[in-house]
Amino acid sequence: MSRHAVLDPELSVRILAERPLLYNEAADPRDDRPSHVRAASGIAVHGGRLVVVQDDASFLAIITSDGVSASKLPRGLDGRRRFEVALGNKLDKLDLESCVAIDDELWAFGSGSLPIRDKICVVQHGVIRVRDAAPLYRRIREQLGSACNLEGAARVVDELWLFHRGNTGPDDVGPAVVRIELAAMRAWLAAEAALPPIVAVDGYDLGSIEGASLGFTDAIADKERVFYLATAELSPNAVDDGRVVGSQLGVIDRYSVRAAPVAGASGAPIKAEGIALDRSRPGRAWIALDPDDPDEPAVLLDVELVGPW
């Protein structure tokens, strides 16, 4: 049984500032790094800094008051760290779509939309480890009863919630949250325990825009509440990009699922892909936008949550 999201007219999102994410340093062909952050797909506050994962570039972007720097992830096939249609290697990417801070670690999750994307990157004290997570993703697919496309991750009290976007094709079960016991997940990632059991899979009906279903694109927990982003995109599957027709920010609590539209300053549709709360400023958050264009920088929004969120 799915939980249904409703638009709440008392809620809104006000954009206070927007910032194109340009690296402090020029492009570096030796590292296969462009001059800007591409396809920002997930953000988290880790170690007092804002960290951005990118679904088509193997770098973490570190945002501080001094600007934006890049932390290299391992190279992929043919030694590349950039993946795109023009290079003929789009299907080779890890497709990191979400990240979550777990104490002194950062966990970044591949989408699972292709076998090469069944990976989890664990970052601890600057050391990066890529874990082959195929057994976990296989279990997730079994529990969903369909293909998976994980686009959000959140620590909710003593559980890890993984957010399935629900856009893998006509047989997809729709947006869903896969809940895993956090301690068991941590032990498995450290190779100290067996595969963690799945506590539950919760289905959601997030609504639609212009006939395109909304699907999860990121999430962040605030104690027992969970803020999520959802985007409606005219695409037949989880691999090919399509025209984005709108995004929403929502909040899940024990009693309801409420949402509000998120649009650009001009009111144009945006692809909202990452969210992090600013714990030092109540009612404020950052939202990362994916331009779906490798030549354009991702954008970071500084937003205010208006109303009884």
What per-residue confidence (pLDDT) applies to 240? 67
Of residues 237, 259, 239, 258, the one with CA closest to residue 248: 259
Could you give the domains of the chain? 2-306 (2.120.10)
Q: Is the pLDDT of residue 248 over 90?
A: yes
pLDDT grade, residue 267 (50/70/90)?
confident
What per-residue confidence (pLDDT) applies to 83? 95
pLDDT digits (tens, 9 = 90+) for 22-77: 999 999 999 999 999 999 999 999 999 999 999 999 999 999 989 999 999 999 98
User: What's the pTM value of the predicted model, to 2 decimals?
Assistant: 0.95
Residue 128 and residue 122 in contact, taking contact as beta carbons nearer than 8 Å = yes
Q: Is the pLDDT of residue 273 over 90?
A: yes
pLDDT grade, residue 192 (50/70/90)?
confident
HEC assignment per residue over 59-127:
EEEEEECCEEEEEECCCCHHHCCECCHHHCCHHHCCCEEEEEEECCEEEEEECCCCHHHCEEEEEECCE
With tokens 């690296």, the residue in question is 23
pLDDT digits (tens, 9 = 90+) for 201-247: 999 999 999 999 999 999 999 999 999 999 998 877 656 677 899 99
pLDDT digits (tens, 9 = 90+) for 79-100: 999 999 999 999 999 999 999 9
